[in-house]
Structure 1
Amino acid sequence: MSRPTGRPGRPPPHRGAGEVRIVGGIWKRTRLPVPDRPGLRPTPDRVRETLFNWLGQDLAGWRVLDAFAGTGALGIEAASRGAAQVTLVEQDAALVAGLQALRGRLDGAADILQVRRGDGVAALRQAAAGSLDLVLIDPPFDAALFEPALAAAAPALSAGGFAYLEAPAAWSDEALAPFGLAVHRHLRAGAVHAHLLRRAGAGEGRP
């Protein structure tokens, strides 16, 4: 199998306690705490804004799974922009507790957000075929999770669905071909490569 192309950027620095903000939608400007946890690397505001510009501003009715939720910034951003169902999966017990607290604090979140403690790859494998419109894959960069997550995500995507992949190096169509996926959009922001992926051969359909 071909590996991601290009030289990885310098690993992002570990972020201590702080916060990120929701960029758009009903919870716009809501600030999310960033606990001081090993490997926690929230997607920067600018990258999230670009991702949701790619996807379009209205995600009404979308079914979303954030497989490595961390602070929840990606999944909560999707919910803020109209997604009907967003599942946040996270292994770290302290982060899960924080996500549950956020779910209780955000107006209307109880009807949209589900928080599960568990393994993100396992959650993707358990998803019904074609059941997800957006899969968010942003695992710890030092974990060997990219390939199993992509392999599990592809069958779960709906016909017009997308997978978002955040990684330390660029993934080419050649590297993604074994998973039946292809690059739809790509952005490099410092040490982070943001990819919007689709099923290989998928028509334009959604934005």
Structure 2
Amino acid sequence: MNHNKNRQNPSPPPAPRANHRQASHQVRIIGGLWKRTPLTVISADGLRPTPDRVRETVFNWLHHLHNGQWNNISCLDMFAGSGALGFEAASRGASQVTMFEAFPPAYKQLEQTKQKLRAEQVHLLRGDALLLVKNLLVKQQKFDLIFLDPPFNLGFLEKILPLCTDLLTPTGILYVESEQALMLDSVPATAACEPTWRILRQDKAGSVYFHLLQRNTESGEAV
């Protein structure tokens, strides 16, 4: 009996487990001044960059609604992450883009991207989105376009969406990504949408629903 059999034929050591939190990948700016510029996406829980094809669709919608005129548009990107939405707007000529980000590595990446692009119109704020929004409300600051793409299933949409009515200009547009379709004609699936909103455009890609909303006005006129 060969007592050394296990020594002579040892099992291979287990492969090291990948550290997914340190891994990263890239998305690209779709159009404008910085077209095709790669943006690094830090891998972290809840950080879910808007896919290139969804951004292409959304910015085609926005381009049409604004008649291609971006130079007078001020934007707010509440959960910036990679900055894909905010930098896309800046690339196309938005006059001012404010980005919120709470996760330190993602915020650092935003700073590096801003410096690389020399994006002076981009203003970065680090901290909790809900608190930063409340600070903007105190200052009575208004935006023509707001990107609201929060982590799913954490209740951010229900808390922040009602506050956006006072952050938008009268004809401002709100972009929303969510895990369920927003339904304004009945009880909304997310229990988040107010009757003051109406849907301008909406679509679905995979498990993500995306929408353009605008506040209802007495005249009912859109952009």
Question: Normalized against structure 2, the TM-score is what?
Answer: 0.80
Deviation of residue 37 (structure 1)?
1.3
* Deviation by residue 1:118-138 (Cα, 9 ceiling, x = unmatched): 122222233254610011100
Q: Which residues in structure 2 correspond to 1:22-33 (within 5 Å)?
A: 22-33=29-40
Moved over 3 A (4+): 174-177
2:200 is paired with a residue whose SS is: strand
Structure 2 partner of 1:3: none
Cα separation, 1, equivalents of 2:182 and 2:145: 18
Cα separation, 1, equivalents of 2:200 and 2:60: 13
Letter in 2 for 1:124: V
- One of 58, 61, 66 as aligned partner of 1:54: 61
Q: Which residues in structure 2 correspond to 1:128-147 (within 5 Å)?
A: 128=137, 129=140, 131-147=142-158
Question: Normalized against structure 1, the TM-score is what?
Answer: 0.86
**1:181/1:34 CA distance change after superposition, 3 Å:** same
Q: Which residues in structure 2 correspond to 1:5-44 (within 5 Å)?
A: 17-44=24-51
- One of 129, 132, 149 as aligned partner of 1:123: 132
Letter in 1 for 2:204: R
1:61 is paired with a residue whose SS is: coil
Cα separation, 1, equivalents of 2:110 and 2:69: 23
**1:177/1:67 CA distance change after superposition, 3 Å:** closer
Residue 215 of structure 2 is aligned to residue 191 of structure 1? no
* Deviation by residue 1:30-64 (Cα, 9 ceiling, x = unmatched): 00001121121100001111111111144211111
Cα separation, 2, equivalents of 1:121 and 1:198: 20
**1:177/1:34 CA distance change after superposition, 3 Å:** closer
Report percent identity of matched pairs. 39
Cα separation, 1, equivalents of 2:89 and 2:130: 20
Letter in 2 for 1:120: A
Aligned-CA RMSD value: 1.9
Structure 2 partner of 1:170: 181
1:77 is paired with a residue whose SS is: helix
Structure 2 partner of 1:6: none
Cα separation, 2, equivalents of 1:133 and 1:179: 20
Letter in 1 for 2:201: R
Residue 108 of structure 2 is aligned to residue 97 of structure 1? yes
Deviation of residue 177 (structure 1)?
5.5
2:194 is paired with a residue whose SS is: helix
Q: Which ranges in structure 2 are unaligned for 5 or more consecutive residues?
A: 1-20
Bigger Cα Rg: 2
Structure 2 partner of 1:11: none
* Deviation by residue 1:5-33 (Cα, 9 ceiling, x = unmatched): xxxxxxxxx9x521000001101100000
More relative contact order, 1 or 2 (CA 8 Å, 6+ apart): 1
Cα separation, 1, equivalents of 2:141 and 2:214: 13
**1:179/1:153 CA distance change after superposition, 3 Å:** farther
Cα separation, 2, equivalents of 1:73 and 1:39: 15
2:90 is paired with a residue whose SS is: helix
Structure 1 partner of 2:78: 67
* Deviation by residue 1:93-151 (Cα, 9 ceiling, x = unmatched): 111111001110003x0x21011101222222332546100111000012110011111
* Deviation by residue 1:44-94 (Cα, 9 ceiling, x = unmatched): 001111111111144211111100001000011011111111011011011
